[in-house]
Amino acid sequence: MLCQDIYLVIKKFPAEEKYNIIKHLRENARAIPSNIAERFYRFHYQDSIRFYIIARGCLGEMKSDLYLSFDQSYINRTELNIGLQKLETILIMLNSLIKQIKIKKFISPITNN
């Protein structure tokens, strides 16, 4: 939903932002689910955590871009708040997944890496 929402909201941005904030928002909107998906094809704990952390970094970049978009009046307060709320929900989920992997690694036998 976040990716779809970003694609919808950036349609109203000015054309001169095509290679700046629009491009950056699109890249991060795609990178979040892509990194989460890539994690599922990794078999080592550190790889899994690394891809979740990359996705979490993309969330931070998107948050910054949403504030910038609001400051430039490309989005309104409601759109900003909805976007920030979605980012916070995803952040909570990612942090939970990272924590679960760390716990699983701690209680699993060493041979299972």
pLDDT digits (tens, 9 = 90+) for 10-53: 999 999 999 999 999 999 999 999 998 988 887 777 888 999 99
Domain range spanning residue 21? 2-112
d(CA 44, CA 111): 11
Provide the CATH number for the domain around residue 8.
1.20.1440.60
Q: Select from 6, 1, 103, 4 the least CA-distant residue to 63.
A: 6
The per-residue pLDDT for 106 is 66
Contact of 52 with 98, CB cutoff 8 Å = yes
Q: Give the tokens for residue 10.
A: 């950036």
- Please tell me the total count of domains within the chain: 1
Instruction: Supply the mean pLDDT for the chain.
Output: 90
Q: Is the pLDDT of residue 4 over 60?
A: yes
